[in-house]
Amino acid sequence: MNEFQYGIDQLTVSSALAIASGSLKGVLGKASREKVLSSQQHVQEIVNTNRTVYGVNTGFGILASASISDEDTRLLQHKILQSHSVGVGDPIPTEVARIMLITKMQALAQGFSGVQLETLERINWHIENDVIPVVPEKGSVGASGDLAPLSHLFLPLIGLGEVFYKGERLPSQKVLQQFNMHAIQLGPKEGLALINGTQFILSFAVKAVQRMHNCLEAADIIGAMSLEALTGTKAPFDERLHQLRPYAGSKLVAQRLRLLLHDSNIMQSHMDCGRVQDPYSLRCMPQVHGASRNAWLHLKELTEIELNSVTDNPIILAADDTISGGNFHGQPMALPLDYACFAAAEIGNIADRRCYLLLEGKWGLPMLLMKNVGLNSGFMIPQYTTAALVTENKTLCFPASADSIPTSLGQEDHVSMGSISGRKLNKVIDNLEYILAIELLSACQAIEFRRPLKSSAILEFAHDYVRKYVSFAEEDRIFANDINQIREIIHDFSFVGQVNSFASAGKSMLNEGYEQFELTSSSN
């Protein structure tokens, strides 16, 4: 198995996800160990020389002016994890908590935080043994870092809190005993270093980058299938048109649509039909999908900067050189997360409009995509669900980063609320996956009314892949079952993965020339 060296190698979205999945091993190499040991020695020297440094021998936040005695510097770090563990709500997904551990490893291993090597080794033990702390979803304002969720994340280090292990939710102490291990005694500054940071926001961003990329890829494929079913034209995807307004996202989507529709018999069958223009939800896919692609790219680029950043406070450069600043503030991630939230919601908006077009009974399709309607409601009601989900997403589009409520008696007088931005974006993507599933269900139904004509090889493959899970509907049935089946193949990345693999095998490189939009590319 390949290895990733924390604090030395550059972490990307794809490598963070690979470590989380177990396909890449994160290690503390010799160079990072030396940096960590040196930084920890600097902190110990600060304590020994009685030099006053925030968080080492002072209180926290509004209590920064309170001095802490030498003998209490370790107890102070233990207490900060206890006092700041105030999260509420359901636990976050274990994958997100695992990514939090990984991203904190990368930040601390750079050697500017003064933590013990033993502490980093224990965090990595949690990752490698899949002993994942229970982290409540709510309670962070994303300012002095994600204080509450990170406190819960690291309670197990001191033998407190809970973990998920082998499918069970257990007290941390019980699991440590199973491994014949003891709690760690935190050194000076360690508690603060553990909970100062943006790893909660960042880990939701990592998942959102992965999931939104999948939805954007799916939306192009599904949109092309809807266009085929509606006998739309590919003229608006002409490369010459998009060179005149050369946004990278628009150019990529237009290219993908051209390749997805290449050599379609359905497209050839109506070249001279006399229809002048298609509705915007068909004609403007490059502009709308492309704008969301641009927003995704911005989020990915900033996420990968954050993945390799030190977001602790204070920063330890040397025993006599420390900087107390604001690298823990979540605003650099909160804004792009909110922007991406709007972008994801818009993909749902335009997909819902295509669902509606498919039901109207125009251009040779039966009304509600079923021949015997009246007795049957056909595909009328699935579109009710897309309408509901689209509206729910609109309510989630209020930018959390536009709000700020002072905390710590005014010491922390501007906060980012980025933790809410990250959670909210993933909720929008949850809904988007269902919206796309309903459009795909409807497009597959509609395209069969064009038989015996065939679409392009890629889109026929996509249609056949869906038919492995859901059959053509001759009459009404419980469509929720179909929706859930198709949503699952979108959610688990198999639909996009299978279609992309088929396209590549046929020499159709859908994203060729736009490698920056690939999930596996690095902006570093």
- Parallel, antiparallel or unpaired: strands 88-91 and 25-27: unpaired
Complete DSSP assignment for 27-61? E--HHHHHHHHHHHHHHHHHHHTT---TTTSB-SG
Helices (H), 115-198: 117-128, 147-154, 172-178, 190-195
Residues whose CB is less than 8 angstroms from the CB of residue 115 and which lie 6 or more positions away in sequence, other chains included: 36, 39, 40, 108, 187, 189, 190, 193, 194
Alpha-carbon gap, residue 436 to 438, rounded angstroms: 5
Catalytic entry in 6, 54, 339, 469: 54
Longest Cα–Cα distance of the chain, Å, equals 86
Token pair recorded at residue 410: 């005014």
Q: Which H or E run includes 214?
A: helix 199-229
Alpha-carbon gap, residue 452 to 265, rounded angstroms: 10
* 291 half-sphere exposure, CB direction, 13 A CA radius: 14
Q: What angle do CA 92, 14, 122 make, to 5 degrees?
A: 55
Position 380, amino acid: M
Q: How many CB atoms lie within 10 A of CB 175?
A: 20
Residue 54 designated active-site: yes
DSSP 434: H
Of the candidates 465, 471, 469, 500, the residue with the CA atom closest to the CA atom of residue 484 = 469
| Whole-angstrom Cα Rg for the chain | 26
Token pair recorded at residue 102: 């990984």
- Determine contact, residues 308/104, Cβ cutoff 8 Å: no
Q: Calculate the alpha carbon distances from 374 to 370, 371, 379, 418, 522 in Å.
A: 10, 9, 12, 49, 54
Q: Calculate the alpha carbon distances from 363 to 222, 263, 274, 352, 366 in Å.
A: 19, 21, 12, 19, 9
**Burial classification of residue 481, based on how many CB atoms lie within 10 Å of its CB (0-12 exposed, 13-18 middle, 19 or more buried):** exposed
Alpha-carbon gap, residue 479 to 136, rounded angstroms: 34
Q: How many CB atoms lie within 10 A of CB 240?
A: 6
Alpha-carbon gap, residue 361 to 230, rounded angstroms: 10
Q: How many CB atoms lie within 10 A of CB 437?
A: 29
Question: Catalytic site residues?
Answer: 54
